[in-house]
């Protein structure tokens, strides 16, 4: 069983299934950036959650300290404190895990940064600039996987490939080349044609 208690994604997933699913450094950086801002938002919300928990506990203690409080009010206040503290250990573990996950994301982004082609652009512009190459490689990678596993490309995926501006010049010739290699049982060469991003990856010229 795969387990990742307290984490949204494990370090392994971030490195191999997020970064590793991309074909360009800029594509991987954009994916990690999206995870980063999402996690940072959750951590900011966790700060507000802590303040609200502390406020509810303080209010309950104030009720319990009042000499005029009824027995029922005292008991309800005591129950409020127990409820607020019940999940505190889990909350603290979630918080520590989220911070560790964010640290991994920041580390991965730092390792990807020197490989980026569009690092000089603001993040929104860089993301747009990376789309053509990232999608081209993704479609070629899908074609390879389809041909390896079922011998043909589903019509809807082929239609998407034809919509890419590099279809005639690069994608379709790549499909034909892959067909040829598979007919010759040169599977290792097919698997070596495309690559996804890894930290040791260096862009091809």
Provide the pLDDT confidence category of residue 4 given band limits of 50, 70 and 90.
Answer: confident
What's the token pair of residue 115? 């490989």
Tell me the C-alpha distance between 186 and 145, whole Å: 14
Of 97-106, 179-188, 193-202, the poorest mean pLDDT is in: 193-202
What pLDDT is attached to residue 1?
Answer: 58
Which residues fall within 8 angstroms of residue 29, CB to CB, at 6 or more apart? 109, 112, 113, 116, 119, 126
- Chain segment 188-203, per-residue pLDDT in tens: 888 877 665 554 544 3
Identify the top-confidence range among 26-35, 46-55, 87-96. 26-35
CA distance 169 to 166: 5
Burial of 144 (0-12, 13-18, 19+ CB in 10 A): buried
Predicted model pTM: 0.84
Question: What pLDDT does residue 150 have?
Answer: 93
Q: What percent of the chain has pLDDT over 70?
A: 93
pLDDT of residue 203: 39
pLDDT digits (tens, 9 = 90+) for 41-81: 999 999 999 999 999 999 999 999 988 889 999 999 999 99
């Amino acid at each position: 069983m795969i387990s990742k208690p307290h984490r949204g994604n494990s370090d392994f997933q971030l490195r191999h299934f997020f970064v590793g699913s991309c074909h360009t450094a800029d594509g991987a950086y954009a994916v990690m950036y999206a995870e980063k801002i999402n996690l940072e938002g959750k951590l900011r919300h966790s700060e507000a959650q802590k303040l609200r928990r502390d406020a509810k506990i303080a209010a309950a203690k104030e009720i319990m300290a009042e000499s005029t409080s009824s027995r029922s009010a005292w008991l309800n206040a005591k129950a409020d404190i127990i409820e607020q503290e019940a999940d505190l250990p889990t909350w603290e573990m979630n918080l520590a895990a989220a911070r560790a996950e964010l640290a991994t994301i920041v580390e991965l982004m730092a390792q990807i940064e020197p490989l980026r082609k569009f690092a000089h652009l603001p993040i929104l512009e860089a993301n747009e600039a990376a789309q053509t190459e990232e999608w081209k490689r993704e479609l070629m990678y899908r074609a390879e996987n389809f041909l390896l596993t079922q011998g043909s490309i589903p019509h809807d995926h082929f239609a998407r490939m034809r919509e890419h501006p590099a279809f005639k010049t690069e994608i379709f010739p790549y499909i034909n080349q892959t067909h040829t290699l598979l007919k010759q049982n040169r599977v290792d060469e097919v698997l070596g044609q495309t690559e996804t991003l890894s930290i040791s990856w260096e862009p091809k010229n």
